[in-house]
Amino acid sequence: MGIKNNFLIKKLGCSASDDLDGAIASVMDTYGQSNRNKYRAVVYYMLTKKMGKESAYK
């Protein structure tokens, strides 16, 4: 999965032992599974907030 490897692990520095799949599922539930047009920037923002990694962008 591109979000997990390319964004969460490489960009945010999360470890593979974190509950990455759970975080992605939680964000998708919040954003809405039935929403066909999901914006990548919104998903990345929500994942950054969920994982508490805002410092990666400072």
1-39, pLDDT tens digit by residue? 689 999 999 999 999 888 999 999 999 999 998 888 999
Domain span holding position 31: 2-57
Rounded distance, CA 7 to CA 33, Å? 20
Q: How many domains does the chain have?
A: 1
pTM above the 0.75 mark?
Answer: yes
Cα separation values, 23 from 33, 48, Å: 14, 10
Rounded distance, CA 22 to CA 37, Å? 21
Half-sphere exposure of 31 (CA within 13 A, CB side): 21
* CA of residue 14 relative to chain centroid, distance: 10
| CATH code for the domain in which residue 38 is found | 1.10.238.120
Q: With 90 as the cut, is the pLDDT of residue 58 above it?
A: no
For residue 40, give the DSSP letter.
Answer: H
